[in-house]
Amino acid sequence: MNTRKMLAAAASCGVLALFATVGADAQTKKLPLDANGQPCDGVLDGALQCFKKEQTISTPDRPYRRAGESDGRRYGPGRGFTLGEKQLIYAAVPGSVVVLDAKKNYTFVKRIVFEQKPAPLPLESIAGMAASTATNMIYVSTRGHLYAIDLLTEKVVWANAYEPGTCCERAQVTPDGLTIDVGSDLKNFHRVIDARTGAVKGIIPTPQSMFNHNMNMSPDGKTIFAAPNGNTMTIADLASMKPTGTITFSDHIRVFVINHDASRVYANLNNLLGFEIADVKTRKVIKRIEVPGELWKAKWADPNQHFYGHGAPMHGIAMTPDESEIWIPDAINNQVLVYDNTGEWPVLDMSKTIKTIEPNGWITMGIDGKLAYMASGDVVDVKTHKIVGQLRDEYGRHMDSEKVLDLAFNLEGKLVRKVNEFAIGDPEAYAARIAREKNKPAKEASNR
């Protein structure tokens, strides 16, 4: 032990000696010495070898810039796509989910197959899709089953038929990600389900809304809106699993959305290019919005003309997250119409009309509300109302899916952000817009 201490002390003295000043020049600069006892004005490594100081001044003869990282994932051809948040588009079609890379021009990533049947047998039709950040799963409703698919293993965790012939329509997940509300397959009730196990927690009866189809959940997860293939929507309390009232519209309810505090319902209907607005507190329709008749009524009345769109002038309605605009697909003229929603009532702005490449029957707003995804496969910039991309599968076919989710993942493959397949109002985005509008007059006055 004494010998080791002596050797360590000697080595320490040797290192100190190497850093002693040699000559007046070295004393002035106080430079460290390399292994040969020479002053080093660069960088010493562990073996006391001197490396010339990196050039940091850019000159015409020797231009300089700081070197990039050697990590090719950040600076290679696909720079950045394997570092940081990954954003993927999941589009459900019968039997599988197609995954596209939103940050790489929607290139095909893979197809997740969750249902396999012999070739002569038809695959179950898709009714809806939802996601949970708590369970890291997506939930695909088919007319036959509710599937829970782990987003990291891409395996089916559970698949339940429940009572045969009663499962399943569109579903929504509570804000904590642990509970699912899903409509029965065109029956008069909803199931409340444990998102982790698929076990049924209870039943919400909707006796006045037969043939359940579309549904929405308030942003706080407390209230359920169940729309049937019919005129009367049922409103229910999720905690008690009891209906609390109904709203009757003037025609068969198709797609509908709700605003940031679930105080209003905006529903598109059969035989209407437009939508009706209902007040949730009074349970009454308070406004009917129609597209100018010359754009659609004569065409719709002509029995010899046929239009894409579920047998209605339109199928779909979307709000931007801040509720400043309402978008509706126009099945008669193959376009999307945009309403300004910043005033007392929505106002059609024909200058913002979007001509879709294929017929369109659904609109999903993407993460942060910057892009909108159409069932036509078109990707639209929300600010400019211009088509900026296309969703296509591995065969180059446009993705004709009305069940699309925009999902963001961290480095570990954990789902961290998601969207609702229904483009409903977002409380934070709405509050931010209102705050901006309140501050605008004060700023304009101060600039005068």
Residues in the chain: 448
Spatial strand order in the sheet of 171-173: 171-173, 179-183, 189-194, 200-205
Are residues 307 and 354 located together in one domain of the fold? yes
Residue by residue, DSSP assigns 57-118 as: ---SSS---PPPPS-HHHHSTTTTTTSS-EEEEEEEETTEEEEEETTTTTEEEEEEE-----
Domain end position, chosen among 216, 248, 280: 248
Q: Which residue has the higher pLDDT, 7 or 41?
A: 41
Which residues 6+ apart lie within 8 Å of 33 measured at CB? 18, 19, 20, 22, 26, 39, 40, 48
Give the CATH number for residue 437: 2.40.128.630
Give the mean pLDDT of 299-327: 92
Same domain for 446 and 304?
Answer: yes
Indicate the residue among 248, 272, 291 that finishes a domain. Answer: 248
240 and 280 inside one domain: no
Nearest to 196 by CA among 112, 130, 134: 134
Question: Are residues 222 and 302 both part of a single domain?
Answer: no
**pLDDT for 80 beyond 60:** no
Share of the chain above pLDDT 70, in %: 83
Average pLDDT over residues 205-234: 95
Whether residues 226 and 268 share a domain: the answer is no
Report pLDDT digits (tens) over 227-247: 998 999 999 999 999 999 999
Q: Is 283 exposed, middle or buried (0-12, 13-18, 19+ CB in 10 A)?
A: middle
- The pLDDT score that the predictor gives to residue 352 is 98
Q: Residue 174 sits in a domain of what CATH number?
A: 2.130.10.10
What's the rounded Cα separation, in Å, for the pair 242 and 121? 38
What burial class does residue 105 get, using C-beta atoms within 10 Å of its C-beta: 0-12 exposed, 13-18 middle, 19+ buried? Answer: exposed
Q: Count the domains in the chain.
A: 2
Return the pLDDT at 7. Answer: 44
Residue 114 scores a pLDDT above 70: yes
Task: From 248, 279, 297, give the residue that closes a domain.
Answer: 248
Task: Evaluate whether residue 152 is within a structural domain.
Answer: yes
pLDDT value of residue 41:
65
123-180 confidence digits (pLDDT tens): 999 999 999 999 999 999 999 999 999 999 999 999 999 998 999 999 999 999 999 9
**Residue range of the domain that includes 174:** 124-248
- Note whether 282 and 189 are same-domain residues: no
Question: Are both 286 and 377 inside the same structural domain?
Answer: yes
pLDDT in tens, 318-327: 999 999 999 9
Rounded to an integer, what distance in angstroms lies between the CA atom of residue 175 and that of residue 188? 25
Quick check: is 377 in a domain? yes
Any domain includes 254: no
Q: What is the pLDDT of residues 48-67, one digit of tens each?
A: 667 666 666 788 888 877 76
Within 10 angstroms of residue 251's Cβ, the number of other Cβ atoms is 15
Q: Is pLDDT of 33 > 90? A: no
- At 267, the pLDDT band (50, 70, 90 cuts) reads very high
- Does 152 share its domain with 212? yes
At 36, the amino acid letter reads: N
Placement of tokens 């389900």 in the chain:
193
Confidence tier at 291 by pLDDT (50, 70, 90) = very high
Convert the pLDDT of each residue in 425-440 to its tens digit.
Answer: 999 999 999 999 998 7
408 in the same domain as 326: yes
| Class of residue 102 by CB neighbours under 10 A (exposed 0-12, middle 13-18, buried 19+) | buried
